[in-house]
Amino acid sequence: MKAVPNLYIISSVAGGGKSTIIQALLKENPEFYFSISCTTRDPRPGDEEGKTYYFLTIPEFQKKIADGEFYEWAEVHGNYYGTPKAPILDAIKEHRVALMDLDVQGAKSVKQLRPESVTIFIEPPSREIWIERLIRRGTDSKTSIEKRIENGIIELDEAPSFDYVVINDRLEDAITEVKAILCGTKS
Ligand code: 5GP
């Protein structure tokens, strides 16, 4: 795939399908750079240290904030999440296609730092389908699901501020649409 080298920020509500789309893009394009974040949340089934996240304690995370080691960071659903600065700056310097999986706060911060970056919001086809998918995913506790729904309703209001909104009704179509954005062929 001939993607335009740039920084692509992909956001969505929890359970919106963003991770699945990113995984599909990376599988097909191993040369893409994916920014692996640090988090203080507990690992979920399927998480792998250094592959999905770097799992840190709160003091470890706070030390990295104090040491200026994050490109951006935010508190999301009651946990800290942050983008390690050095690797993303290297990827930008090397003109690689770089993908970031960020919440809407992170997307806004990075867009401010780099206005030429491209922000993509993956939106579920309806609120009902989204909540059903989130529950069906089975990876979160009841409290965590409730928090993600509460936050997601606020995040959905932010969708129009993104460069592109992709409706994830059929996964294959959503992937095709994101690919077109990366190739610069989607208006
Ligand atoms: P999850 O716990 O479901 O993996 O992620 C929760 C939220 O945190 C998602 O919206 C995800 O995009 C966001 N997130 C993951 N890493 C980062 C990061 O480094 N910075 C920010 N701002 N958000 C992140």
Which residue, by CA, sits nearest to atom 14 of ligand 1?
102
Query: What is the reported pTM?
Result: 0.95
For the cut 80, the answer to whether the pLDDT of residue 156 exceeds it is yes
pLDDT value of position 139: 76
Segment 61-68 mean pLDDT:
98
Q: What's phi and psi for 38, nearest 5 deg?
A: -95, 145
For the cut 80, the answer to whether the pLDDT of residue 187 exceeds it is no
Q: Taking CB atoms and a 6 Å cutoff, what residues make up the pocket around ligand 1? A: 11, 14, 37, 41, 72, 74, 76-77, 81-83, 101-103, 105-106
Among 130-139, 144-153, 175-184, whose mean pLDDT is lowest?
Answer: 130-139
Domain ranges in the chain? 7-182
Q: How far is the CA of 142 from the centre of ligand 1 (A)?
A: 19
| C-alpha–C-alpha distance, residues 130 and 128, integer Å | 5
pLDDT value of position 186: 85
Binding region for ATP: 12-19
Among 31-45, 71-85, 126-140, whose mean pLDDT is lowest?
Answer: 126-140
pLDDT value of position 140: 77
Q: What is the CATH number of domain 7-182?
A: 3.40.50.300
Report the mean per-residue pLDDT for the chain.
95
For the cut 80, the answer to whether the pLDDT of residue 132 exceeds it is yes
For the cut 80, the answer to whether the pLDDT of residue 78 exceeds it is yes
Segment 72-80 mean pLDDT:
95
Segment 8-35 mean pLDDT:
96
Segment 109-113 mean pLDDT:
97
Band (pLDDT 50/70/90 cuts) for residue 11 is very high
Segment 124-142 mean pLDDT:
88
pLDDT value of position 79: 96
Segment 92-110 mean pLDDT:
97
Task: Give the pLDDT confidence of 24-38 residue by residue, as tens digits.
Answer: 999 999 999 999 999
pLDDT value of position 136: 87
